[in-house]
Amino acid sequence: MKFAVTVKERKAGMPCDNRPIGIFDSGLGGLTALSELRKLMPRENIVYFADTARNPYGTRTPVELKKMARENLAFLARSGVKTVIAACGTMSTNALDVLHTSEVPVINVLEPSVAAMAAVSGKQPLAVIATDASIRSGGYTRALNSACPGREVIALACQEFVHLCETGHTLPKDPLLQQEVAKALAPLQEAKPAALLLGCTHFGLIAEAISAYLGENVVLISAAECAAKAMKAYLEEAGLTGGSGEETLYTSGSVREFEEKAEHFLHRPVKALYGSAGE
């Protein structure tokens, strides 16, 4: 399975690589990838870019998304990152060619999460939820059909989930969230999929509410978690691990607003800086 990176040679025994890992997303969703990566690799340095000024990505065109992907990668490259997680399902489905050809090695969220879905046994359908642009691109559906021949694939666009996450409606008992989850995921109640891929990293913020609605028999697979695991495997194989646990967070929107929302999710103080990847 190709994750938009190629290890050309084993670097075992080489000195630690203290350069940071870059992560980008349209906003808060990528913090799910940051959190998972921090659990797996607590000493790695991380530079996170939340492109909140251009949020949401899910309503953008493929042409726009490819341009923005290049700009985000260039922004992180200027920060001296050694690798990047494109912690965005919309970018991973609409700008995969840009991610694959980046000079800085990139892990996307599509390929490792589809590989995890392919490991789900049984004959029940497999489902994926993502943004409008991701579902419209057909990227997840094509990849799942290729990796899981013979399995029915159900793809649902849940763009409103992004708005709820960005506006703080993430608690499992939140009435607005419960209402939208029931409305958007109603088709899955009858279909009874074996697993549901959270194809937008924002959706990890509301996984508890989704699981409560669908029931414990439906396995939830987080695209963010899969990408973090893929990054760990890549860095260890390439001999690129190293760092002191430092974090630098940038946002292209309101610094104060991002800090408040990020603290709500990360449950710790957050200090962010302003940064712009666009023109």
Task: Write out the DSSP string of 94-154.
Answer: HSHHHHHT-SS-EEESHHHHHHHHHT--SSS-EEEEE-HHHHHHTHHHHHHHHHSTTS-EE
User: What is the rounded average pLDDT of the residues 83-96?
Assistant: 97
> pLDDT at position 277, please?
87
pLDDT digits (tens, 9 = 90+) for 163-174: 999 999 999 999
pLDDT digits (tens, 9 = 90+) for 110-163: 999 999 999 999 999 999 999 999 999 999 999 999 999 999 999 999 999 999
Domain identity same for 69 and 146: no
Q: Which of 158, 165, 200, 226 is catalytic?
A: 200
> pLDDT at position 224, please?
97
Domain identity same for 192 and 245: no
Task: State yes or no: pLDDT of 8 exceeds 50.
Answer: no
Does 100 fall in a domain? yes
Q: Are 225 and 190 in contact (CB under 8 A)?
A: no
Closest alpha carbon to 77 in 35, 36, 105: 105
Sign for the CA dihedral angle at 88, 93, 189, 158 comes to: positive
Domain identity same for 119 and 215: yes
Active site residue 16: no
Domain identity same for 149 and 73: no
Q: How many CB atoms lie within 10 A of CB 186?
A: 12
| Per-residue DSSP letter, 27 | S
Does 6 fall in a domain? no
Domain identity same for 59 and 77: yes
Does 11 fall in a domain? no
Domain identity same for 124 and 215: yes
Active site residue 165: no
Does 154 fall in a domain? yes
Q: Which residues pair with 24 in a beta bridge?
A: 49, 86
The token pair that represents 279 in the structure block: 């023109």
pLDDT tier at 279, thresholds 50, 70, 90: low
Closest alpha carbon to 110 in 137, 143, 136, 80: 143
Domain that holds residue 81: 21-108+226-274
Does 3 fall in a domain? no
Domain identity same for 137 and 101: no
Does 251 fall in a domain? yes
Domain identity same for 94 and 27: yes
Task: State yes or no: pLDDT of 7 exceeds 50.
Answer: no
pLDDT digits (tens, 9 = 90+) for 95-123: 999 999 999 999 999 999 999 999 999 99
The CATH number for 25's domain is 3.40.50.1860
Supply angle C-alpha 79, 84, 88, rounded to 5.
Answer: 120
Domain identity same for 115 and 218: yes
Q: Are 227 and 21 in contact (CB under 8 A)?
A: no
CA distance 74 to 256: 24
Q: Are 77 and 277 in contact (CB under 8 A)?
A: no
CA 60 to chain centre: 17
Does 15 fall in a domain? no
Q: How many domains does the chain have?
A: 2
Q: Which of 88, 158, 165, 226 is catalytic?
A: 88
Does 172 fall in a domain? yes
Task: State yes or no: pLDDT of 184 exceeds 90.
Answer: yes
